[in-house]
Structures are given as C-alpha cells and as structure tokens.
Amino acid sequence: MEKIRRNERMSAMMKILADAPNRIFTLSYFCELFGAAKSTMSEDIDILRDVVKQFGLGELETVTGAAGGVRYRTVASKADAQAYIAELCQQLSGTSRVLPGGFLYSSDILSAPEAVRRMGEIIATEYYAAAPDFVLTMETKGIPVAMCTANALGVPLVIARRSSKVYEGSAVNINYVSGSTGHIETMSLSRRAVKEGQRTLIVDDFLKAGGTAKGMVELMHEFNIEVVGMAFVMETASPEKKRITDYKSLMVLDISDDDQPVATLKPADWLMA
Amino acid sequence: MEKIRRNERMSAMMKILADAPNRIFTLSYFCELFGAAKSTMSEDIDILRDVVKQFGLGELETVTGAAGGVRYRTVASKADAQAYIAELCQQLSGTSRVLPGGFLYSSDILSAPEAVRRMGEIIATEYYAAAPDFVLTMETKGIPVAMCTANALGVPLVIARRSSKVYEGSAVNINYVSGSTGHIETMSLSRRAVKEGQRTLIVDDFLKAGGTAKGMVELMHEFNIEVVGMAFVMETASPEKKRITDYKSLMVLDISDDDQPVATLKPADWLMA
C-alpha cells in the first residue's frame, strides 16, 4: 500500500467521525485503516481537534480509559446558534406565513435538510451531558428535527403515533388532553420500541399549551423511562404557563390578533443569555 | 492570521462539503475562507477527490462553467451498497420480527440514524442524474429515509399528509384506493409546499400493491409536477404486479404463510446486478 499522507488521513478521519457523531472510535481503528502508528494518529487527532474548533465545525474529544478513543460532537457555539436562529426568526416573521385561524406555515423549514440539521445540532449541544438513550417525538412535523437531534447525539429516534398500527406490534396507548383544544387525543407507542430504565430526550416542533408534551411524559412513565429533557423548535408566547416545565425552545412565536395578523418570532431567552 | 496548512484546509473543506451534499461551492469561497490562492485550493481539491474515492466516502466533483466550483456527492459504490443492504436483510429476516397478521416490525431500522443515512445515500446515488427539485414522501414511517435522501440530493423534503391540517394552509386533497385493503384513503398536500413544473423523487418505506404510491403520482399530476423516480426501502414479493412501474426498492420481503411465519428479506435484483 502506498503511504497515506497526513492531509489524506485527516480529511478521511474528519468525514468518518462526522458521519457518526458521539460515537467513540478507538485509536487502533484509525491506525489499522491508515496503516499508521499510534503516535502519528495522536498527532493527527490533535491537529484535527484544533481545525474543528477554529472553523466552528463542532468538537473533537479524546476519551480516556479502557473504552477510550476519539469522538466527534456537533457542538454549536452560542454565537453561531444565536445567529442562525435569529436568521430563521426573520425568515418566519411577517404576514406572508400567517394562515387563517392564526396559524404559522412552517412545514417547509421543518423539512429543509440544512435547517433541521442546524436546529438538531443546537438542541443536541444542550443535551450531550444529559446522555439520553433515545430521542422521542410525536408524529409528524417534528420528525425531521428529532431525527437530526438523534443523529447528533448518536442515539435512535422513536416515534409515537396518534393511533396504534398493525405493523408496530403490541403497543401502549394513553389518552391525553390537548392543551389548545381541550379534546381528548390518543398517543401510542410500540412495546418493542423502548426498554424499561432508559433515558429519553423529547423533541417536537411546536409547544403551545403543552398537552401533547405532557402526554409524552406520561407515556414515558408507563414504560418506566426517565425524561432527561424536552426541546421544541417553536413555542407560543401565549399561554405563558405551559403544562410542562424544564424545557427549551429555540424560538418564541407571537401572532397579533387583528385584521392583518403579523407573526413575530424571537430567539428564546436562554439562547440569547 | 496564522497560515493555514494543507491538512487543516482539507479537513475543514471535507466537513463543509459533506454537510451540504450536491451544493456547488465556488473556489473563491474556499480561497477567502482559508486565505489561499486559487492554484493552492485546486491542488487541495485534487487530493481530496482522491481521498474521498480511496476510502469509499462518496464523490467530489469539479463543476466547470460560470456557476462552477466543487461539490460533494454521497455516491455509494455498488459493492458497499450491496454489502450494507445484505446486512440489513439478515438483521430483518427470521421469526422474531414477524407480527400477528403477517406484518414485519421495522420501525426501529426506519428511524435509526445510521441506517436511514446509508439507505438515503444508496437511493440518492441512483437519482442524482434525474435531478429532482424535491423528495416527496407520505407520512409517517418513510420520513427519516426520505429526509436523508433529500439531504444527500441537496433538495427539500415535502411530506404528504393523511388529512389536511390547519397549519398547512389551503391544500389539495385526493382520494385513492389502498392496494392492500381496497379501502378509500385520503392524501393531502399544502399548496404552498410545491411549485408547478417542478420535478420530484418519491421515497417511501414500503411498497405492497402500490395504491399509496399511485396516489402520490396522481397527487403530483394535480400540481403539474413530474415524477422522475420512485424508491422504496422494502417491497413485498407478493403481489408481484404493482400498480406502479419504474421504481426501485432496496429489499424484497417474503413472509411464509404457516403457523410459524418466517420473514425472508433479500436485496432487490437491480442492486445485485
């Protein structure tokens, strides 16, 4: 085999690490892949750590111990997160996206690959330390962001459904009260999807009164799963009091209640702090 | 600014390109980012192209002309695609995933970040040439794979719903006959989601008789949108004749019809050819 140069090793390593965020790769894995000595690979990793930091591309961490190695995390800096969310807020604000009934059209943003990747990375940054075993979302609109958050955290995504499906096998169903409409809704999760004792991060697109979010928390209690965090793309300014606490949203939405309703979106306070 | 070395430029460039597959970055963009001359950047790109190829990490292409530059594509080699899909088939085959009624439990695979990324890359590889403007899927289970396909193609994802929603604005609804059950179902798409004259790639998780897929094709006709391809994660061996033609699936599923039903999954013929 022709000798592989440092620039070649580092570029390939960057891609391999970034394709599997939060997964620990052993030094031996890369030594074997590139036919390089451990000392050489250590040097490569030291340089790569600085590159990733310098260009705001996340974080490279060396993990010591028996299961040690190197892992990549999509960590977004506060400044980058602020700038990106402020840009999204501007894009979503105004009159053109307000729908009859005072709703905001946001489906395009919620399934635009770059937008959901960036939002997923910002959410993941806040919850690496909480070490969830999986990300839970409720179908449908939040799935892409939840997927990207799960990818960044290196854990599976689990999707709760509005009703049980034959192809999900036996399921646990709960009823909950929708916070906005007061109607009784159903939420269903396959028994095979999760295991008792796991930890979950709840991610969804929208938080209004918090009925659905509260339903997800209750569903997790049925499975003896600990909710280690809740994150939402958008929350409404009103009602101010939600049915859940200890959550983070990226944007706060306010739609004026007049003949020409205007949507105003602002980055959430914690993000700007 | 301290001078940035080749290994640093190349690693950062790899990450930036891979984060936005199929997007053309101008040479000037990288020259400015790294404070390097065009000739230097060209050399970097030449080396990076070989690295990406050598380690099976996709493809780097130089695009000439006024809108020229460099772009990264997630192109999966036939051998890698075959090996990965064969591995998935093995994982899904057997008795443990067969549910009452002869269904296969696959929700976990369909929302596992690495699996959907790999499957999305394999599908995208087949449809780069068709140059779709967006990927269309029908909620719910196919969303993660469709999302990853859209990401690899560098286009938006559009999600058709089972009923129209207030937060999607005015929508076009169609009725279609489910191929498996013979029931009349509804499919809905927001008018804002797409534009007349666009081209779409349909991606979904499951193809049985093809009723839903045919519904999606008809929905696209309502919007004067051309369907340039259709791809599915799994198709059933029976019925052999589907309601649609010109599609690709990754795996073919057969569940034996006896007391101890066994699922057998095989990579699709086109993939093994």
Count the Cβ atoms, other than its own, within 10 Å of residue A236: 19
- C-alpha R_g of chain A: 21
Give which of A9, A28, A33, A24 is closest to A60, Cα–Cα. Answer: A24
Residue A119 binned pLDDT confidence (cut-offs 50, 70, 90): very high
Give which of A133, A221, A132 is closest to A174, Cα–Cα. Answer: A221
> Quick check: helix, strand or coil at residue B114?
helix
Q: What is the mean pLDDT of residues B18-44?
A: 96
> Quick check: helix, strand or coil at residue A202?
strand
C-alpha B102, offset from chain centre? 27
Do B121 and B152 form a contact (C-beta atoms < 8 A)? yes
Phi-psi region of A34 (alpha: psi -120 to 50; beta: other; left: phi over 0): alpha
pTM of the model: 0.97
Give which of B153, B89, B156 is closest to B126, Cα–Cα. Answer: B153
Gap from B241 CA to chain A (nearest CA, Å): 22
β-sheet bridge partners, residue B59:
B73
From residue A95, alpha-carbon distances to A92, A254, A255, A264, B5 in Å are: 9, 12, 9, 9, 48
Q: B147 is written with which tokens?
A: 């999302």
Whether the pLDDT of residue A65 is over 90: the answer is: no
Q: Give me the torsion for CA of A99, A102, A105, A110, rounded to 10°.
A: -160
In this complex, the residue of A18, A113, A147 whose CB is nearest that of residue B113 is A147
β-sheet bridge partners, residue A231:
A203, A248
The verdict on B234 touching A (C-beta cutoff 8 Å) is no
Contact between A108 and B48 using a beta-carbon 8 Å cutoff: no
The verdict on A139 touching B (C-beta cutoff 8 Å) is yes
- The Cα–Cα gap between B113 and A71 comes to 17
- Sequence ranges of the domains in chain A: 6-73, 78-272
Span A17-63, pLDDT tens digits: 999 999 999 999 999 999 999 999 999 999 999 999 999 999 999 99
Whether the pLDDT of residue A14 is over 70: the answer is: yes
Give which of A125, A144, A162 is closest to A204, Cα–Cα. Answer: A144
Rounded to 10°, the helix A38-54/B6-19 angle is 60
Instruction: Report the residue count for chain A.
Output: 273
- Pairing type for strands B184-190 and B171-177 reads antiparallel
Q: What is the mean pLDDT of residues B112-123?
A: 98
H/E stretch holding B65: none
- The Cα–Cα gap between A261 and B5 comes to 53
Whether the pLDDT of residue A147 is over 60: the answer is: yes
Contact between A107 and B190 using a beta-carbon 8 Å cutoff: yes
Give which of A272, A268, A273, A213 is closest to A245, Cα–Cα. Answer: A213
Span B73-107, pLDDT tens digits: 999 999 999 999 999 999 999 999 999 988 999 99
Residue A182 binned pLDDT confidence (cut-offs 50, 70, 90): confident
From residue B141, alpha-carbon distances to A137, A138, A270, B99, B110 in Å are: 13, 12, 33, 17, 7
> Quick check: helix, strand or coil at residue B84?
helix
Report pLDDT for A178. Answer: 87
Least-confidence region, from A48-57, A156-165, B53-62, B178-187: B178-187
The verdict on A104 touching B (C-beta cutoff 8 Å) is yes
CA atoms within 13 A on the CB side of B179: 20
- The Cα–Cα gap between B111 and B233 comes to 12
Give the residue on B whose Cα is nearest the Cα of A160.
Answer: B140
Residue type, B120: G
Which of B:190-229 have CB within 8 Å of A? 190, 192-193
Do A110 and A149 form a contact (C-beta atoms < 8 A)? no
- What CATH number does the domain located at A78-272 have? 3.40.50.2020
Residue B2 binned pLDDT confidence (cut-offs 50, 70, 90): low
Which of B:151-170 have CB within 8 Å of A? 151, 154-159, 161, 166-169
> Quick check: helix, strand or coil at residue B104?
strand
> Quick check: helix, strand or coil at residue A109?
helix
Gap from A142 CA to chain B (nearest CA, Å): 10
- Pairing type for strands B248-255 and B226-236 reads parallel
- The Cα–Cα gap between A14 and A248 comes to 30
CA atoms within 13 A on the CB side of A82: 8
Gap from B169 CA to chain A (nearest CA, Å): 6
- The Cα–Cα gap between A256 and A203 comes to 27
β-sheet bridge partners, residue B61:
B71
Give which of A229, A185, A204, A189 is closest to A141, Cα–Cα. Answer: A204
Q: What is the DSSP string of A75-95?
A: ---HHHHHHHHHHHHHHH-BS
Q: Give me the torsion for CA of A67, A68, A72, A73, rounded to 10°.
A: 70
Report pLDDT for B115. Answer: 98
Do A143 and B143 form a contact (C-beta atoms < 8 A)? yes
- The Cα–Cα gap between B58 and B40 comes to 23
In this complex, the residue of B99, B113, B156 whose CB is nearest that of residue A166 is B99
Write out chain B residues lying below 8 Å of A104, CB-based.
167
Report pLDDT for A1. Answer: 53
Contact between B111 and A157 using a beta-carbon 8 Å cutoff: yes
CATH 1.10.10.10 fits A6-73, yes or no: yes
Do A92 and A101 form a contact (C-beta atoms < 8 A)? no
Q: A59 is written with which tokens?
A: 């974080």
Q: What is the ipTM of this complex?
A: 0.96
Give which of A109, A75, A98, A5 is closest to A47, Cα–Cα. Answer: A5
Q: CB-based contacts of B185: which residues, under 8 Å, 6+ apart?
A: B162, B175, B176, B177, B178, B211, B212, B215
CA atoms within 13 A on the CB side of B144: 29
Whether the pLDDT of residue B109 is over 80: the answer is: yes
Count the Cβ atoms, other than its own, within 10 Å of residue B153: 29
Report pLDDT for A258. Answer: 86
- The Cα–Cα gap between A69 and B5 comes to 25
Q: What is the mean pLDDT of residues A4-10?
A: 96
Report pLDDT for B1. Answer: 52
Give which of A130, A136, A222 is closest to A176, Cα–Cα. Answer: A222
Q: CB-based contacts of B178: which residues, under 8 Å, 6+ apart?
A: B184, B185, B209, B211, B212
Span B170-222, pLDDT tens digits: 999 999 998 778 899 999 999 999 999 999 999 999 999 999 999 999 999 99
